[in-house]
Structure 1
Amino acid sequence: MQIQNLLENKSKKYIDINENWKFKLGNNMRYSQLIMEDFDEWEDVNLPHDWSIFLDFNQKSLGRNEAGLLDGGFGYYVKKFDVSEGLENKDILIKFGGVYMDSSVWLNGKLLGNYPFGYNTFYYDLTKWIRYGENTLVVKVENRQPSSRWYSGSGIYRNVELIIKEKLNIKEDGIRIITKDSELENLDLVESKAYFEIVNKTNCDLKANVVFDIYDVFGNKHGEFSSKELVIGSNDKTVIEELFSISNPNLWSIEKPNLYYVKTKLYSDGMLLDEQITRYGYRHIRWDAKEGFYLNGNYIKFHGVCLHHDNGALGAMLDIDADRRKLAIMKKMGVNAIRTSHNPQSEEFIRLCDEMGFLVIEEAFDTWSGNAKKEFDYNRFFAEKSTHPDANEADTWAKFDIQRMVKRDINSPCIIMWSIGNEIWESKLPHGLKQGLDLIEWINEIDNTRFTTIGEEAFIYNLDNGVHVNICEELDAVGLNYCENNLEKLFEIYPDWRFYGSETSSALRSRGIFYDPQTKDNVATGSADKPNRRYQMSDYGNDRVSWGKTAINSWIPDRDHKRYAGQFIWTGFDYIGEPTPWHNEENLGAKPKSSYFGIVDTCGFPKADYYFYQSQWLRKEEKPMVKIIPHWNWEDRELLESQGTNLKRKDNLVVVRVYSNLQNIDLRLNGRSLGEKAFYKKTTDYGRQYLEGANKDELYLEWMVEFEPGVLEAFASEGD
């Protein structure tokens, strides 16, 4: 039995309207000017659509190479669709998965609303303005530049669908399934609480009750439950709360992401009016400030990465296959956690994390109100009153948006933390205290079962006083950006705080380019420092930004501290924009336009540090691995010398490193052994075992090999 076949009420429909839109990129036009346009002359497009990725790179772009040298501007979309007269008594909504940014939507000349935030799902009720026959939907998108510190993309870059339902219905994103961790300490009978938000858009009072069944992913039923009947007033709404229990649920985990489904039916006087399938999972979390993070009773560390939302040459537009591939590549590296830097990812991405077994920090904002990072970023809207039709009277956009994020994804077992922001300037300023505390409160109004957190860099230079400390005192977990050097002091000052690395490393690397192996920790400063680099970084893993660390030097303090719950490396994949160390440098030729931070490049090909992390994060019993660095294609002596791989000696010696999670390595060139070497077995204070090379903190084995064409091989084994 397949879950998608469980719906019985055929009157409710989700209609994909991604195809056959018209698009124009132009000047800033009012609606009165728009309707004078000949839409037939516009470009034909299908959604999701990112207009910026189709533009030529502009060396003079207002977003600079920080935003990938791809312009934004004003984009206009038109969609014509027919509605049959049989729908006159239905409720008709439109759902936008994400529009970047500051969008305005009209239906048949009526302004439905403006939605500034570029990363959230939002809805409009079309019912009052629908015509039975042809309808015209117009969307204006404003991406004024600069609006972002990375490539954002532009346009309706996620899915759009129509939702047709009865006027007494279950509100979209209106079901919450809450299971307290205390309930999961004994699996014999696990009690949860379900919340069903029911909306009555008729002009009369109506009776209502819900019946809901629990299924596993195979369609096996695990329980049937129902609520008492109640009366919902005309043009009113209510929340039905019901306790339910199931026996011995299969827990969701990183290795076995078991999922369950609630099939909810809404009845009025015995008539089925609405149905909804809600996916959720059971997992038990205990996070002790001194003992670390436990999932289902097992101690784990976050082997995490930060990910932006673009997919390289595909741009920002949602591509579920590209996202699935991206996550699969991360999984093979040993990654078990994702931070959605620095805004909500698509709901499709979150569902993939549910299915594939990733822990997720869903982050809301990169900026609050008062100190813009970019002239046209979200700072303009954060504290302004929300004008969305679904907003409450006193809602700001910040409150509406962060609660919209939580409501959408509250049932996803992958999400363990809600982040209120990343490196927020206001978190160091007096006026930012209320903003931070408000965000925490607004999250807890919807979900008080997950940890609230922040990505905070201020502890690099200010350990024990300031607004950031006041905010962190109210958070459930404190994310540290680049604070590895201060861990011991922070543990001493704040013995009861939960700590993890929300953003770490920021090593720089270009795939297959190897420079200066004799320099194991190089602070890259760009053109002035290394003009011979030709806009490339070293894949030996020895280049980094001034505020960060190499992969090895970032991992060691994480590995050695049990209470430090893990790290989220900047970044798992390269992304368009922010090409540090040539970030917004002037007087360059053809400016770099993509990042160097990724452990994997934008095509999905791993760089060398990918295999370093495999050697540290993959269990040898399950996934033994060995990898030689660098490649063995040095027939061109000029290439060998230009990349510095031969240490500037007269001979052809190449520095060869081997990463492995097995102890013994036999390196062979064209069939003959170059000598066996073995790692030293080490153990941390809390019992974690690891392998170390010839010198302290060398997490690889190294040979000096005279180059000759042929095949270089490494054979790894365990034991004597």
Structure 2
Amino acid sequence: MKYKIATITLFLFIAVSCNTQEAVVPQTDFNFDWNFKLEDSVSGIIDTDWQKIRLPHDWSVTNKFDSINGEGATGYLLGGIGYYKKDFNASISNNQVAYIVFDGVYNNATISLNNKELGFHPYGYSPFYYDVTSVLNENGNKNTINVKVDRTRYADSRWYTGSGIYRNVKFITKNKLHIPIWGSFITTPTITKELASVNIQTSVKNKYNNTKTALLSTTIYDENDVVINTDSKKISVAKNTLLEDLTTITVSNPKLWDIDSPTLYTAITTITQDNEVIDTQKTKFGIRSIKFDANTGFYLNGKNRKIKGVCLHHDAGLVGAAVPKGVWRRRLQTLKNIGCNAIRISHNPASNEFLDLCDEMGFLVQDEFFDEWDNPKDKRKNMNEKSVDYITRGHAEHFQEWAEIDLKNTVLSHRNHPSIFQWSIGNEIEWTYPRNANATGFFNNIDWSGNYFWSLPPNNISTIKEKLKTLPKAKYDIGETAKKLAKWTKELDTTRYVIANCILPSSSYESGYADALDIIGFSYRRVIYDYGHKNYPNLPLMGTENLGQWHEWKAVMERPFISGTFLWTGIDYMGESNKGWPKKGTSSGLLDVAGFKKPSYHMFNALWNTEPNIYITSQTLDKSIYKLDNNGNPVEKQEGKWKTALWQWHNVNEHWNYNNNTVTVVEVYSNCTEVELFLNNKSLGVKKLSNFEDHIYKWTVPYKKGTLKAVGLKDGKKVECTITTTTKPTTIKLTTDQKKLTADGYDVAHIIAQLVDKNGNPIKTENQIINFSVSGNATVLGVDNGSITNTQNFKSNKIKTSKGRALLIVQSLQNKTTPINITANSASLKSNQITITLEPKKN
């Protein structure tokens, strides 16, 4: 089978603010002063009264978890039909146009303005906009926009989606001669240490009834707002036409956008007539190059790098799908701290706000378009397709009509983000095409605890080819659809690689699916990395969905031709918990749903972080995965079991509280070459990492009250970690990640409540119901304790701790600056007080 050239070099480019193309004149934050009502819900909620809200808004997360009517696929939170309404004034002159831009509405949204329908938009993840000029009332009279969101198909996904206008909305007015929405594209086709050429492709739309001439100018600024270079030219645009202009501007001694130093430049493009600026476009961008090589992997700015990635869903625990930027910042920074450098947005396009953060923080991003193509997935039964009833009908029913629109809107809106380095056209699509799936020999013969993950394809290549020829063909062909999606992508952007997450790559190589790709991604098939590279050597491959275990990373490190991995998952998420009540989500993350670190997080800190690090866990021998050998050392009960560990990290504790003399196994996760363990300052021996094939230091330790301390040595540097026996809780310790907030109605603070003993040690073995008290100008977004089985309503001030801790998130109010004071108490304990000051928003 023939493939495209093994090495493709791509160069890029740009990032922008909330709606990727940010118009400086005039752009209105359209998120405030909306009204909402939930008219119909499966649970019987009928709210006929309008309530004041601010966008982004997710009504499902405000519901109670419902084990009777809800579905585990979408986290046992219900949908319904929601109505949004906003009154606003908009005075535009005869030489102006107006647009409303939605970054995402979930889903089946009907938008009307002044009782005139603007359109219907079914897909919940793609951005869209409307030209509303002709529908606005004249003379600045009041306008009313209505959005109806039909989420009665409340099990229409395999994960929690949220419901409503859960992303940002903008109202934009422009001159009739203007740069349209998403009408700018910046690339950097040539980069050297001395010089970078920046291509600015600008669309100029003339909605006048006569030809217009103007001056089109672009100026590039560095990160300190110092002018770097500028270009100006006269343009002439015929009536009711679109002009495409390409300008090249050079940047001397460019600072590159990189994982470790994500430098962003700014391009400001203006249209000037008669010495008056009539339109302005401001775009942040990064200068960087990317390359994938089929033999040597991934290169960023000419440097060979391993992709240390995680998959993320778009919810964030207690805030649901309407995630404030500050919530994502905390979570992404926590991942960044262990060396994570890439995010796969699974399995849908990201919000522009999320991509802004990735641009700013230095994350590579795989932006994924679809989880369904021509054929549906039964959301509750996953791969065992029996039937698809009303509540499970997802976007597949709209795919034929809407796929091109959704894909192209996403690319146009997102292509100016330097963080994006891959477009993924689909996730685990193969099993929705019976012919493709059956050709592998796997389907109808899969053991999800064993043979799929660790076995070579049951059918060899010749058998797969033969079956693809002889098995009955269905209405749609996976290869043809893949080629169509790739073609649409490259019509708008050839600077990035097209990839897909293939769950059955052995058949995808032969079905035409892989022919559409620049890189093929393997989903849980690291066992056939060598198979893929040997038999299809010209197509780069990497892991795009992999287990959060050492054996997965080991397989990447041992193979230069594997660019990296995306672990499933970086953070626990709601949904995909079919018949799992009270388990409301999926707990395969390095962080839990509250963003608290889990043991697997510390393991990947040891694997991905180059700075010396160390962490201690423990477990009683009987509950551990170990037994003692003849020398009294811990060894696996099932020898080599670590090589086939799946999604869940094995059961360990992060405390040192047991019955006296209980035999425990102490595990240390570290990247140090040697570690010495101490109990109450008595050495229990020095061990070397090279002696532990599973990358986990282990000691057998009879429990004694006191302090365990591990001291590691790496490259001459020492690092240590301790855990201490705790006594009864005496207080609740409150901490916050923010002591100041901007009074803009968006900024958030995370307050962690931790039970502690008289010595200030965190207690992880006891739990209490605590009540948060919040005064001042703040909105309480909710509470959580991180447990995937916590089914208490998030919208509360009260919660029972898990592992002795809980989380409260508060958000500032717009233009309100009374300080926020927060305390907590339980039946017997009180906390310290946290005070957060509020600062006026800067213009």
TM class, shorter-chain normalised?
A: 0.7 to 0.9
User: The residue matched to 2:180 in structure 1 has which SS?
Assistant: strand
Aligned mate of 2:539, from 484, 492, 497: 497
User: Residues 464 and 233 of structure 1: is their aligned pair in 2 closer, same or farther, counting only changes over 3 Å?
Assistant: closer
| Post-superposition offset of 1:480 | 0.6
Determine if the alignment matches structure 1 residue 107 to structure 2 residue 113: yes
In structure 2, how many angstroms separate the alpha carbons of the residues matched to 1:54 and 1:372? Answer: 27
1:196 corresponds in structure 2 to: 202
Task: Give the AA of the match of 2:531.
Answer: K
1:347 corresponds in structure 2 to: 352
| Post-superposition offset of 1:11 | 8.8
Contact 1:208–1:267, Cα closer than 8 Å, also in 2: yes
Contact 1:464–1:493, Cα closer than 8 Å, also in 2: no
1:485-520 Cα offsets, whole Å, 9 max, x none, are 111111110111111101001x5xxxxxxxxxxxxx
Contact 1:13–1:164, Cα closer than 8 Å, also in 2: yes
Aligned mate of 2:61, from 32, 36, 53: 53
1:120 corresponds in structure 2 to: 126
1:242 corresponds in structure 2 to: 247
RMSD: 2.6
Contact 1:11–1:165, Cα closer than 8 Å, also in 2: no
User: The residue matched to 1:262 in structure 2 has which SS?
Assistant: strand
In structure 1, how many angstroms separate the alpha carbons of the residues matched to 2:235 and 2:55? Answer: 41
Bigger drift between 664-673 and 441-450 goes to 664-673
Greater strand fraction, Structure 1 or Structure 2: 2
User: Residues 179 and 465 of structure 1: is their aligned pair in 2 closer, same or farther, counting only changes over 3 Å?
Assistant: closer
Task: Give the AA of the match of 2:587.
Answer: Y
Task: Give the AA of the match of 1:148.
Answer: S
Aligned mate of 1:281, from 283, 286, 304: 286
Bigger drift between 119-128 and 201-210 goes to 201-210
Where in structure 2 are the equivalents of 1:301-700 lying within 5 Å?
301-374=306-379, 375-384=392-401, 397-425=402-430, 428=436, 431-459=477-505, 462=506, 466-467=510-511, 470-505=512-547, 551-579=549-577, 583-584=578-579, 590-619=581-610, 623-630=611-618, 652-680=662-690, 693-694=691-692, 697-700=693-696
In structure 1, how many angstroms separate the alpha carbons of the residues matched to 2:713 and 2:375? Answer: 58
In structure 2, how many angstroms separate the alpha carbons of the residues matched to 1:464 and 1:232? Answer: 47
| Post-superposition offset of 1:88 | 4.7
| Post-superposition offset of 1:584 | 2.7
Bigger drift between 110-119 and 240-249 goes to 240-249
1:171 corresponds in structure 2 to: 180
Contact 1:195–1:241, Cα closer than 8 Å, also in 2: yes
Task: Give the AA of the match of 2:73.
Answer: E
1:255-280 Cα offsets, whole Å, 9 max, x none, are 00011111101123543210011111
Runs of 5+ consecutive residues of structure 2 not aligned to the other structure: 1-15, 380-391, 437-473, 623-650, 717-843
Determine if the alignment matches structure 1 residue 710 to structure 2 residue 752: no
2:447 corresponds in structure 1 to: none
1:519 corresponds in structure 2 to: none
Where in structure 2 are the equivalents of 1:185-224 lying within 5 Å?
186-224=192-230
2:34 corresponds in structure 1 to: 21
Contact 1:363–1:418, Cα closer than 8 Å, also in 2: yes
In structure 1, how many angstroms separate the alpha carbons of the residues matched to 2:269 and 2:613? Answer: 46
User: Residues 712 and 407 of structure 1: is their aligned pair in 2 closer, same or farther, counting only changes over 3 Å?
Assistant: same
Task: Give the AA of the match of 2:96.
Answer: K
Determine if the alignment matches structure 1 residue 139 to structure 2 residue 181: no
Determine if the alignment matches structure 1 residue 297 to structure 2 residue 269: no
Contact 1:201–1:236, Cα closer than 8 Å, also in 2: yes
Contact 2:210–2:239, Cα closer than 8 Å, also in 1: yes
1:528 corresponds in structure 2 to: none
In structure 2, how many angstroms separate the alpha carbons of the residues matched to 1:568 and 1:330? Answer: 13
* TM norm structure 1: 0.80
| Post-superposition offset of 1:644 | 9.2
Contact 2:74–2:154, Cα closer than 8 Å, also in 1: no
| Post-superposition offset of 1:407 | 1.1
User: The residue matched to 1:382 in structure 2 has which SS?
Assistant: helix
| Post-superposition offset of 1:423 | 0.6
User: The residue matched to 1:564 in structure 2 has which SS?
Assistant: coil
In structure 2, how many angstroms separate the alpha carbons of the residues matched to 1:250 and 1:244? Answer: 15
| Post-superposition offset of 1:333 | 1.9
Please list every run of at least 4 consecutive aligned residues from structure 1 whose deviation after the TM superposition is greater than 6 angstroms: 643-646
1:530-555 Cα offsets, whole Å, 9 max, x none, are xxxxxxxxxxxxxxxxxxxxx02212
Task: Give the AA of the match of 1:176.
Answer: F
Contact 1:95–1:160, Cα closer than 8 Å, also in 2: yes
User: Residues 201 and 630 of structure 1: is their aligned pair in 2 closer, same or farther, counting only changes over 3 Å?
Assistant: farther
Task: Give the AA of the match of 1:16.
Answer: D
Q: How many residues align?
A: 606
Task: Give the AA of the match of 1:435.
Answer: T
In structure 2, how many angstroms separate the alpha carbons of the residues matched to 1:574 and 1:167? Answer: 47
User: The residue matched to 2:587 in structure 1 has which SS?
Assistant: coil
1:219-271 Cα offsets, whole Å, 9 max, x none, are 011101123x2322222212111222221211111000011111101123543
Runs of 5+ consecutive residues of structure 1 not aligned to the other structure: 29-36, 385-396, 508-550, 635-642, 681-692
In structure 2, how many angstroms separate the alpha carbons of the residues matched to 1:249 and 1:465? Answer: 40
Task: Give the AA of the match of 1:122.
Answer: F
User: Residues 99 and 675 of structure 1: is their aligned pair in 2 closer, same or farther, counting only changes over 3 Å?
Assistant: same
2:87 corresponds in structure 1 to: 80
1:174-210 Cα offsets, whole Å, 9 max, x none, are 1111222xx22x3323223211111111222211331
Determine if the alignment matches structure 1 residue 261 to structure 2 residue 266: yes
Contact 2:660–2:705, Cα closer than 8 Å, also in 1: no
User: The residue matched to 1:591 in structure 2 has which SS?
Assistant: coil
2:73 corresponds in structure 1 to: 66
Bigger drift between 363-372 and 606-615 goes to 363-372
Task: Give the AA of the match of 1:69.
Answer: Y
* TM norm structure 2: 0.69
1:518 corresponds in structure 2 to: none
Aligned mate of 1:96, from 102, 112, 125: 102
In structure 2, how many angstroms separate the alpha carbons of the residues matched to 1:55 and 1:331? Answer: 32
User: The residue matched to 2:527 in structure 1 has which SS?
Assistant: helix
| Post-superposition offset of 1:370 | 2.7
Bigger drift between 556-565 and 365-374 goes to 365-374
Task: Give the AA of the match of 1:383.
Answer: Q
